[in-house]
Amino acid sequence: MANGVSTLRAGRRRRGPATAPGAPGRARDTRLLAAVAAVFTLAQLLLVRPGMGLGWDETVYVSQVTTHTPAAFFSAPRSRGVSLLVAPVASWSSSTELLRVHLAVLSGLGLFLALRAWRGLFPARVLATAGALFATLWVTLFYGPQAMPNYWVAVGALICVGCFLRADADRGGRAVLWGVAAGAVLMALMRPTDAVWVTLPLLVLALVRRRWPLLLALAAGLAAGGGEWVAEAYAWYGGPGARLSRASEIQGGLGWHFAVDDQLRSLGGRALCRPCDVSMPALPVLLWWYLLPVLAALGLAVAVRAGRTARTLVPLACAATAALPYLFMIGYAAPRFLQPAYALLALPVADALWHLVRRPGGAWRPVATTLVAVGLAAHLAVQLSVLVHTVDRNTDSRRDWARTAGELHGLGVRPPCLLTGYQAIPIGYYTGCSSGATAGNNENTTEAEIVRTARRIPVAALTGPDGTPPGFARTWTPYRIGDLEIRVAPPPRADGQDGSGRED
């Protein structure tokens, strides 16, 4: 009889409506996460002006897929993921505004998908809070609409780790395995070495627990995303080892470097702190950074007490390995380097904050709620203040590049043309010229080649405020543009000679 009742109930469930009883709750949770992502997108468009010109690294990535300016030298540490990301717009339009809107919308969508990958592991309110905490950091708002890789490594990390935990708990079926692979692909496309550091705990866990489908998904994702980087390594550098060695040289030599203090100095709005000889920002700017590990540890303690240790410990472990090389292995700092760690830490931090303001039965703790609310409001005010200052400073510097490009056009340096010397890569992008360097991290030509090029097209050598012009350009006509000294080669002549009478 009991079997008959069970069969009857099963039959009734099959004939019932397709929508499960929990579907309205899931839809409500999805709307909450979508709202966080939408606000993040709007905040980028309002606070990081779409008209802000492209930065130095952005010009390198964007120039690879544009038709209005030559491709800049692509150094060993870089990967092609960002160029693929901007290609749908940059391949046919030179509009910076359109590119910024494109990236802001994509970054909002990326945040939504990354948070959604964690559904079922944390309550929606925790996921929404984690998303808001990460999205309101000045470094997240600033780099969300920029053609830079680190935010997308953070998104890939959230997707990969969230889907990994769901797959390990046998939730979501085969789809979450595809999510693990997709997150790994995204990270490896953007920064292959970062992808390895982020996934290191996952690879170890999958191997120890013999979760072969998970291990295969991770390995396949890393291989697919990093395949192009490896192919370039063989084509241009003699193999991955040689490329990693060259990347290490460009980054100052990877090894033991205590860069924690450099990261703290960069929190005041420094896009790149190299050398990091600036003073420490004010305490309110640094306070959240000191509280971050404390709240993350509290989140872990809450998870252990609740019997859900893995879903908090694993992202903490991945955050630690993601941050390790940038805190202890390079001799400079940039706040964007730690974005994957911040994204992963946001989850246990959000869990800890909800534990502080709610009792186990669900009732609010008035004093704790007030303190947390005031603290978050002050934190948001500080982040927005740093963001506004950072946007203003970067907008001014990029306008200077655009003004310099306009004056170079007035001096006859127009495409096709070549710039060499101080800030030749970004100014070359704005001018529409190729850029050449005879030494340093972006070395891609020789002095003799530059002189030969000057007999065919306009060439200018740029010298910074405290620099001296290169020997081959000392006889060229000098001009002053702001704090730059510009030396323009004699105009090419139709008979194959330059203005000095030298022949090719």
> Against a cut of 0.85, is the pTM above it?
yes
Q: Which residues contact 204 (CB under 8 A, 6 or more apart)?
A: none
In tens digits, the chain (504 residues) has pLDDT values of 334 433 333 333 333 333 344 567 788 999 999 999 999 999 999 999 999 999 999 999 999 999 999 999 999 999 999 999 999 999 999 999 999 999 999 999 999 999 999 999 999 999 999 999 999 999 999 999 999 999 999 999 999 999 999 998 887 788 999 999 999 999 999 999 999 999 999 999 999 999 999 999 999 999 999 999 999 999 999 999 999 999 999 888 888 889 999 999 999 999 888 888 889 999 999 999 999 999 999 999 999 999 999 999 999 999 999 999 999 999 999 999 999 999 999 999 999 999 999 998 889 999 999 999 999 999 999 999 999 999 999 999 999 999 999 999 999 999 999 999 999 999 999 999 999 999 989 999 999 999 999 999 999 999 999 889 999 999 999 999 999 999 999 997 665 555 444 443
Burial category of 18 from C-beta neighbours within 10 Å (exposed 0-12, middle 13-18, buried 19 and up): exposed
> Mind spelling out the 3-state secondary structure of 85-135?
HHHHHHCCCCCHHHHHHHHHHHHHHHHHHHHHCCECCECHHHHHHHHHHHH
The residue among 213, 199, 123, 125 whose CA lies nearest residue 158 is: 199
Burial category of 8 from C-beta neighbours within 10 Å (exposed 0-12, middle 13-18, buried 19 and up): exposed
Q: Which residues contact 456 (CB under 8 A, 6 or more apart)?
A: 492
Q: Which SS3 state, helix, strand or coil, does residue 413 take? A: coil
Distance CA 472, CA 61 (A): 30
